[in-house]
Structure formats: C-alpha cells, structure tokens
C-alpha cells in the first residue's frame, strides 16, 4: 500500500489514495491502529483515506489513532486539499470535500506549483447541547456556555461547541503546566458526553490571540486541532473574551480563525505540509 505522511501544524496523519488502494471497510480499524503506531508502524495521529465522491470533489474518510471513525479534522482536510492538488488529482484552487456527509469548501493558496496554505469554510458552529451532543444539567438551557463540570474532583467551566465533531472548551490561567495526560481522559469519557469529547484548554493572551492545548478523543494530546481551534474561538467570542478574527497558538504552529457572525460561518486558514511518501 502506498501512503503519504502529512501534517498541519504538527497534527500528522497517514494519507492513502482510496481510489487506488482498495481496502475492505471491516479491515480498516485494525489497519489504522497498526499504521498509526509510532514504534511499530508509520506513526501518526490517525489515517485519512481520500476517496472519490458524488457529493463533492473528494471524500475524506478519517480515522483516529485507536481505529475509531471521526467526523471531521480541520488540519486533516487542509492536507487532503494539498494531496489532491499536488498529485494532479485536480487543477482547481477552489474545491469541495465531504466527510461523514458534511461538505466543506476550500480555497487553496499555491506557491511554486504546490499548495502552501488552505482556507476552509468550516460551516456554522453548532451550539445546541443535544446536537453536539452534551448532556445538560437540570438547571441548564439548550446551550452549554460557561457551564460548571466536575472532573477529577475539580470544578471547571466549559463552553461546548460542535464543528462537525464535539468540543468542550475550558479557559485556564496557564496551558504549560497542565497535566493533560491525567485530566484529558477524564474529560473525554465523562458521563455528560455520550460520544466522548475533544477538550481544548485555552489561555486568552489578548483580544486577538489565544493559546491552546488539546486532548482529542481516540488519540490523546495532539500538536494541533483545527476544529478545536475553531470551537475555541467561538467559545471565546460567546464569552466576550476576543474579537471575531483570532490567532490561535498551538504546540505545532498557528492557525487564523474568523467567525463571521453575520454569515454565521467559521473560516480557518493554516498550512499543510508533506513529510514523506512510502510503501508498506
């Protein structure tokens, strides 16, 4: 099987051309776990199959490191765009990609014949608790904004947003001293999250800049999360902490996120990089 290792801000996946590599669906979860292993496999936060599609120009079929299917990946979808353009599968710089039935629209910035950065229309943020999904408390309303949650004996305030996958955003004074390996799994598997949760821990630096670390369900801490960055900016704006255009500083690099309140659309701009190609 041929593959391409790519990353967006250090959020790395193994990319496979699904039109050329025919792998039975039932075999994919175990294959993903083997390929993603950083000691015995290729190593990555998961595997993304790039397939033909009738709904859009291409389909992104994404799996987490543990073999579970995921709905959306902001860093991953930018790399899919780079993959299809750089490999000549399209010559268009405006393309559409579908993942789990949801179509996203992307603008590709090309330098010297290769894609360097990609702007993605991530769609409208979902705030209704039942659609995220997150269970509300008896006193809670339809949305979860600055809502208390007890995790590991400590009470946090979270704001929950779905950007195609579920996120809980927690504001903290410092992201560098977080014991993410301990608290991340406790959030992920908390009883209030029926489909588990991605958790973003955010420090607001100023009205235009935030710093973020993320624990992704099915994978653990990653160097970046595109949908998480979008969810974090939405949460910041809902809590009156930032303006609409924000630089999100992640362990693997920076993303530019804008929530157009008039259109109710979130736009993400960031890099996409190829690391190496191979055969396994």
Look at 220 and 141; give whichever has higher pLDDT: 220
pLDDT at 139 over 90: no
Calculate the average pLDDT of the chain: 97
- Sequence-distant (≥ 6) Cβ neighbours of residue 41 within 8 angstroms: 34, 35
Q: Where are the alpha helices (DSSP H) in the chain?
A: 28-36, 74-86, 180-188, 226-238
Provide the percentage of residues in the chain whose pLDDT is more than 90: 98
Helix (H, G, I), strand (E, B) or coil at 226: helix
Q: Is 100 a catalytic residue?
A: no
What is the rounded distance in angstroms from the CA atom of residue 204 to the CA atom of residue 237? 11
Structure tokens at 19: 């039109």
Kindly give the pairing relationship between strand 220-222 and strand 209-216.
antiparallel
Kindly give the pairing relationship between strand 58-64 and strand 46-51.
antiparallel
Q: Please compute the mean of the pLDDT values over residues 168-182 and round it to a whole number.
A: 96
Q: Residue 137's pLDDT band (boundaries 50, 70, 90)?
A: confident
The catalytic position among 160, 225, 230, 236 is: 225
The catalytic position among 73, 79, 230, 236 is: 73
10 Å CB burial of residue 262 (0-12, 13-18, 19+) is exposed
- Sequence-distant (≥ 6) Cβ neighbours of residue 224 within 8 angstroms: 8, 9, 10, 11, 75, 214, 250, 251, 252, 253, 255
Q: Please compute the mean of the pLDDT values over residues 128-139 and round it to a whole number.
A: 92
What is the rounded distance in angstroms from the CA atom of residue 262 to the CA atom of residue 241? 19
146: left (phi over 0), alpha (psi -120 to 50) or beta: left
Strand partners, 128: 143
pTM of the predicted model over 0.85? yes
Q: Please compute the mean of the pLDDT values over residues 190-215 and round it to a whole number.
A: 98
Structure tokens at 226: 């595109």
The pLDDT assigned to 138 comes to 75
Q: Is 225 a catalytic residue?
A: yes
pLDDT at 215 over 80: yes
Q: Residue 140's pLDDT band (boundaries 50, 70, 90)?
A: confident
The pLDDT assigned to 237 comes to 98
**Which tens digit of pLDDT belongs to each residue from 61-90?**
999 999 999 999 999 999 999 999 999 999
**Which tens digit of pLDDT belongs to each residue from 10-47?**
999 999 999 999 999 999 999 999 999 999 999 999 99
Q: Residue 141's pLDDT band (boundaries 50, 70, 90)?
A: confident
Q: 47 and 60 in contact (C-beta within 8 Å)?
A: no
Q: Please compute the mean of the pLDDT values over residues 37-62 and round it to a whole number.
A: 98
What is the rounded distance in angstroms from the CA atom of residue 247 to the CA atom of residue 168? 19
Q: 233 and 259 in contact (C-beta within 8 Å)?
A: yes
């Amino acid at each position: 099987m041929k593959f391409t290792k790519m990353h967006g801000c250090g959020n790395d996946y193994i990319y496979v051309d699904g039109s050329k590599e025919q792998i039975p669906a039932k075999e994919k979860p175990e294959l993903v776990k083997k390929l993603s292993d950083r000691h015995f496999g290729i190593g990555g936060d998961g595997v993304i199959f790039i397939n033909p599609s009738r709904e859009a120009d291409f389909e992104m079929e994404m799996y987490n490191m543990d073999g579970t299917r995921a709905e959306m990946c902001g860093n991953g979808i930018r790399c899919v765009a780079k993959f299809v353009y750089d490999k000549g599968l399209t010559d268009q710089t405006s393309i559409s990609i579908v993942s789990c039935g949801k179509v996203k629209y992307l603008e590709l910035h090309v330098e010297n014949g290769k894609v360097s950065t990609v702007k993605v229309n991530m769609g409208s943020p979902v705030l209704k608790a039942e659609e995220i999904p997150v269970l509300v408390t008896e006193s809670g309303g339809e949305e979860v904004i600055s809502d208390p949650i007890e995790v590991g004996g400590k009470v946090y305030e979270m704001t929950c947003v779905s950007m195609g996958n579920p996120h809980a955003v927690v504001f903290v004074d410092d992201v560098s001293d977080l014991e993410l390996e301990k608290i991340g799994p406790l959030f992920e598997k908390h009883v209030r999250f029926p489909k588990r949760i991605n958790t973003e821990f955010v420090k607001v630096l100023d009205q235009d800049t935030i710093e973020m670390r993320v624990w992704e369900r099915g994978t653990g801490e990653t160097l970046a999360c595109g949908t998480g960055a979008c969810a974090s900016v939405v949460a910041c704006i809902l809590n009156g902490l930032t303006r609409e255009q924000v630089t999100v500083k992640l362990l693997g690099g920076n993303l530019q996120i804008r929530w157009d309140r008039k259109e109710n659309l979130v736009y993400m701009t960031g890099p996409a990089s190829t690391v190496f190609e191979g055969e396994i």
